[in-house]
Amino acid sequence: MKKIFISLGLAVGLAACAPSADTPVAKLKEQKDSLKTVYAEIKAQIIEINEEIKRLDTTTVKLKPVTVTPAEIGTFEHFFVVHGNVDTKENILLYPESMGRIKKINVEAGASVSKGQIIAELDASTLESGISELKTSLELATSVFERQEKLWDKKIGSEMDFLQAKANKESLQKKLNTMYEQLDMFKVKAPISGYVDEVFPNVGEMAAPQAPFVRLINTQDIEIK
């Protein structure tokens, strides 16, 4: 504002010091020209001040130029991104039924398996040795029973010998069936069809019923949550 008053005072001073004209019209024109000069300077200063105010004033809403487009009927498409988890009803951890050293693993992560497929085998050499001995005993007991049966059919020998031979054979047969069931527990089988997501142990490590062996996932029935 000091610049404006100084410029205005300078212009008025120049007008006062100018040589007097012959007519009043000439004086007025000279005064008008002086005022125009002052007005131009004041206008330039106002523009400069306004620009500085715009730059410093953060409360002023700065409007942006817009364009107008005529509305048209059409298909509205809007896309958005969401995050979810893939979930399945058959996502299970498979545990071995027996304890033993892992002898063989038949699958790896990502492999497709069918229900009942043997995934891994545990070392059952002790049980297999027992089965072999029991089979030999069963063969002998079966042979004795068959002979006693033939004799008994001919009413030769005692009924007690026949019944003992029969009971011994049946008892060994039941024991052998039980050992076969135990042997089957040393095989880790897939209870469902699906894919192997992860295999936890390695060959040579010990497997136990309380330690998870593999994770199986059935991808036929999945949903995203």
The count of domains in the chain is 2
Cα-based angle 172, 177, 180 (whole degrees, multiple of 5): 125
CATH number, position 152: 2.40.50.100
Q: Count Cβ atoms within 10 A of the Cβ of residue 145 and give its class: 0-12 exposed, 13-18 middle, 19 or more buried.
A: buried
- Regarding whether 218 and 114 lie in a shared domain, the answer is yes
Q: What element of type H or E holds 105? A: strand 100-105
Q: Which residue has the higher pLDDT, 10 or 153?
A: 153
Using the structure block, give the residue that is written with the tokens 């004799």.
151
- Regarding whether 158 and 114 lie in a shared domain, the answer is yes
Sequence-distant (6+) residues with CB within 8 A of 40 are none
- pTM of the entire predicted model: 0.53
Q: What percent of the chain stands above pLDDT 70?
A: 88
- Is residue 11 within 8 A of residue 32, CB to CB? The reply is no
Domain span at 27: 2-56
In a domain, 75, yes or no: no
**123 pLDDT more than 90:** yes
